Structure 1
Amino acid sequence: MLKEFKNFIARGNVIDLAVGIIVGSAFTAIVKALVNDLLNPFIGLFLGKINLSNIVWTIGDAQFKVGSFLNAVINFLIISFVVFLLVKAINSFHHKQEQPQPEEPSKEEKYLAEIVQLLKNNEK
């Protein structure tokens, strides 16, 4: 069982997934800082409120935190767009790698091609 676990962990997919999660969480922190510290104050200039997370609608005793929801939507859109760009770049890189390079035929293949050509000429 330990050997199976070692083989499972040693596969590239598991390690790639772990690296992706770690980088993704760090990237999420950067995007949150971008939204909270740069974009929200800029948008707040036009709305008259500097901090969007403070926008709250109150109906009776219920409070609807519209600003927090807007922050989450902005975070999602930025992260989704960056992931889209990354996947697009990786896919274009993989497509370039997958194109096989034409190989020069070996001597045996050249001889076989000559024999086939001679046979075709003799049949005519």
Structure 2
Amino acid sequence: MKNKAGSFFKGFKEFITKGNILDLAIAFIIGTAFKAIITSLVNDIIMPLINTLTGESNFNDLIWIVSGSEIRYGSFIQQIVEFIIIAFSIYAAITLVIRRKEFNERIAKENAPLVEEEIKVVVPEDIKLLTEIRDQLKELQKK
């Protein structure tokens, strides 16, 4: 059991020192800021427009009372709108990155023959000599 714990902490130490944790922290901070922007977009722009169309004063005030309990479905709908915008934004960003990567790979593949033509193959002298001997032996066998 002690060996498993030691390997676990060793793996954790490697994970932290590789920089993955730094990437994860940066992604978390950017994600938190992005969520704040989307929340503001939904609360300050989209929902007031929907309120104007529906005639409600505030979407958060939409409540359904069942047996004395309040069900705040307006707030739930607002969270769904926020989720859809975040999911769409992440999808668009990931799709953009993937398409850019595929484009770069295609360009590299198209340019690869040009690079290969420029490379000169240097044949060592002993290989040249062996090739000449082979060719001479072939000529002797034909006669």
Shared fold per TM-score greater than 0.5: yes
Q: 1:6 to 1:82 in 2, by over 3 A?
A: same
Distance 1:77 1:91 in 2: 21
Matched pairs, number: 115
- State the match for 2:61 in structure 1: 54
Match of 1:43 among 47, 50, 54: 50
Letter in 1 for 2:46: L
Letter in 2 for 1:50: S
Deviations 1:79-100 (A, max 9, x none): 0010011001111122223343
Match of 2:99 among 71, 78, 92: 92
Question: SS of the residue aligned with 1:63?
Answer: strand
Unaligned 5+ residue runs, structure 1?
Answer: none
TM-score, normalisation: structure 2: 0.67
- State the match for 1:82 in structure 2: 89
Is the 1:40–1:50 contact (alpha carbons within 8 Å) kept by the matching residues of 2? no
Q: 1:109 to 1:55 in 2, by over 3 A?
A: farther
Deviations 1:87-122 (A, max 9, x none): 011111222233434123432279xxxx8xxx8xx9
Residue 38 of structure 1, CA deviation: 1.2
Unaligned 5+ residue runs, structure 2?
Answer: 1-5, 124-130, 139-143
- State the match for 1:71 in structure 2: 78
Distance 1:46 1:23 in 2: 33
Letter in 1 for 2:92: L
Distance 1:8 1:17 in 2: 11
Identity across aligned pairs (percent)? 31
Distance 1:10 1:55 in 2: 50
Deviations 1:30-55 (A, max 9, x none): 11111111111110112111310110
Q: Which has the larger Rg?
A: 2
Residue 76 of structure 1, CA deviation: 0.3
